[in-house]
Structure 1
Amino acid sequence: MKPVFIALLLACSSAQAAMGPFDVYEQALRNDPVFLGAIKERDAGLENRTIGRAGLLPRLSYNYNKGRNNSESTLPDNQRGSRREDRNYTSFGSTFSLQQPLIDYEAYANYRKGVAQALFADENFRDKSQALLVRVLTYYTQALFAQDQIDIARAKKKAYEQQFLQNQHLFQQGEGTRTDILEAESRYELATAEEIQALDEQDASLR
Structure 2
Amino acid sequence: MKPSLLLVYPTATICLVLAASAQSRPLSSILKSLHILGNSQFPLTNPSNIAMPPGVSSGVIISDVMGKTQTIAIFSGLTRDIDSVADRLDDASKNATVLAPDNAAMKGLSRKPWEDPKEYESLGESAYQGQAGEDRAHRNMRRFVEAHIVATSPWREHEKVETLAGNTVWYETKGGEKVIQPGNIQVLSVADKVGNGEVWILKDVINYQ
Using the size of structure 1 for normalisation, the TM-score is: 0.27
- The structure in which a higher percent of residues are helix is 1
Structure possessing the higher radius of gyration over alpha carbons: 1
**What TM-score do you get using the length of structure 2 for normalisation?**
0.27
